[in-house]
Chains A and B, each alone.
Chain A
């Protein structure tokens, strides 16, 4: 019953909620970002990060550093936090935490299949996969020739199996079919996650439905921007960014996002969406006794890693004036 989580949540979820709130307080602050934005080299960035929770992950990396190394090591921190929480969680929190990784699993499947289509070495592809999306039989994806084989040989034993019902065809895997598969799987995953959260009920259902709906809308707008004139319902008739704006401005939650963009400007749309996403995830921490804080923490940490990637690229390319183009400050 909504409103009475305080009576029983802490029995099973209290310890992990405290852990995740502790992790939240370890996110980089404005002062950290100010220091990072003034760095001249990647070694300076490493030095500044040594005083943060990323310190132990970067301290043994030899110079010269590369931006991909910084991103990989910071991702390991996120993976360790996640694994610690997962191994301590009981049902239904453990299932909830597993749901958070299915998006990465879909991305990894698409990466392996695309790379195999382009005759890349499987080992090389496995190294590029996101660690949160790994599963045992992932390397076997390379032998599949079409969707049916993909499902039958590999994915039937993975959590993605239920999402494949709309994708199973005997058509060969090509760039277009792979893209359709990616987006169909992600749609089915978001819908399934939404249903799971609704079953949990209470504050988890209320907050997660808002976060997942925003994620779905953001993906729909990005698909439209990246592929117009083909799109989704009303977005389908749009032929440029200004028409997309005209459609989206009818919905109050998105008015503020598109208000930040000048006409014809699609480059800053990503940043505007990320800022709105961060705002919603931060708000999730304002309430207690629900699971959405775990989802919000994972997403905020991923945003932080994106920020670090962008700052590192700007420093490495000697383009520090462009740092604020894409950095989204958290808290």
Chain B
């Protein structure tokens, strides 16, 4: 009976975990939708401010260059759940340097402030295809789409968690039937 109660508790915990993950997943998709809406409107606002000749696809750089942001995929200890990590604003001069790495350990304030300067430089470099003197609206657009990218990674991780929870819950239910 003690064992049955423990098993029930575990099942309840798994079910709660699954529901929580699903709730967070839906919240994140809603948040992504509103961030993207904001980003697109800010882009239209930047086009309105700077003119369509300065903000259009024909000024984007086609020269080969390394990605400023990369995605790292790892697995958890038992290999059942992939983990997605965004490595943002990899310095173009020192490609092995990760300037902004979510889920990494927090840094001290001096390192953080010099990293923030480097991140700002990389952001400016990325926007320089539209010219050197750009509207604050275009910078706001960049931040919105950057936030959207972070939310996408959170959604991927949350989806992975949902699927993992569902698999475990399903397995428990099957075991119970047996």
B132 and A270 contact, CB distance less than 8 A: no
B133 and A226 contact, CB distance less than 8 A: yes
A267 to chain B: which residues have CB within 8 Å?
A: 45, 136-137
A175 and B131 contact, CB distance less than 8 A: yes
B53 and A108 contact, CB distance less than 8 A: yes
B45 and A226 contact, CB distance less than 8 A: no
Q: Which of B7-15, B59-67, B83-91 contacts A (4 or more CB under 8 A)?
A: B59-67
B135 and A119 contact, CB distance less than 8 A: no
B133 to chain A: which residues have CB within 8 Å?
A: 179, 183, 222-223, 226-227
B44 to chain A: which residues have CB within 8 Å?
A: 310, 313-314, 317
B136 to chain A: which residues have CB within 8 Å?
A: 225-226, 266-267
A317 to B39 Cα, complex, angstroms = 11
Contacts A175-B131, A178-B131, A325-B45 given; indicate if A118 touches B53 (C-beta within 8 A).
Answer: no
A105 to B136 Cα, complex, angstroms = 25
A270 and B49 contact, CB distance less than 8 A: yes
> Residue A91 at the B interface, CB < 8 A?
no
A311 to B25 Cα, complex, angstroms = 34
Contacts A111-B53, A223-B133 given; indicate if A120 touches B59 (C-beta within 8 A).
Answer: yes
Nearest to A318 among chain B residues (CB) is: B37
A125 to B62 Cα, complex, angstroms = 13
Distance of A286 from chain B, by nearest CB (Å): 28
Task: Give the number of chain A interface residues (Cβ < 8 Å).
Answer: 40
> Residue B153 at the A interface, CB < 8 A?
no
A227 to B58 Cα, complex, angstroms = 23
> Residue B98 at the A interface, CB < 8 A?
no
Distance of A67 from chain B, by nearest CB (Å): 8
Nearest to B134 among chain A residues (CB) is: A226
Nearest to A223 among chain B residues (CB) is: B133
> Residue B170 at the A interface, CB < 8 A?
no
A125 to B47 Cα, complex, angstroms = 17
> Residue A8 at the B interface, CB < 8 A?
no
A319 and B48 contact, CB distance less than 8 A: no
A175 to B60 Cα, complex, angstroms = 12
Within 8 A of A (CB), among B9-48: 37, 40-41, 44-45, 47-48
B53 to chain A: which residues have CB within 8 Å?
A: 107-108, 111, 128-130
B interface footprint on A293-311 (CB within 8 Å = 1, 0 otherwise): 0000000000000100110
> Residue A71 at the B interface, CB < 8 A?
yes
A176 and B47 contact, CB distance less than 8 A: no
B63 to chain A: which residues have CB within 8 Å?
A: 118-119
B97 to chain A: which residues have CB within 8 Å?
A: none
Contacts A118-B61, A175-B128, A319-B41 given; indicate if A226 touches B135 (C-beta within 8 A).
Answer: yes
User: 3 tightest A-B contacts by CB?
Assistant: A313-B44, A179-B132, A226-B133
| B interface, CB within 8 angstroms of A | 37, 40-41, 44-45, 47-49, 51-54, 56, 58-63, 128-129, 131-137
Would you mind naming 30 contact pairs between A and B with Cβ atoms under 8 Å apart?
A111-B58, A111-B59, A115-B59, A118-B60, A118-B61, A118-B63, A120-B59, A124-B58, A127-B58, A128-B52, A128-B56, A129-B53, A178-B132, A179-B131, A179-B132, A223-B133, A226-B133, A226-B134, A226-B135, A267-B45, A270-B49, A306-B48, A309-B47, A313-B41, A313-B47, A314-B44, A317-B37, A317-B41, A317-B44, A319-B37
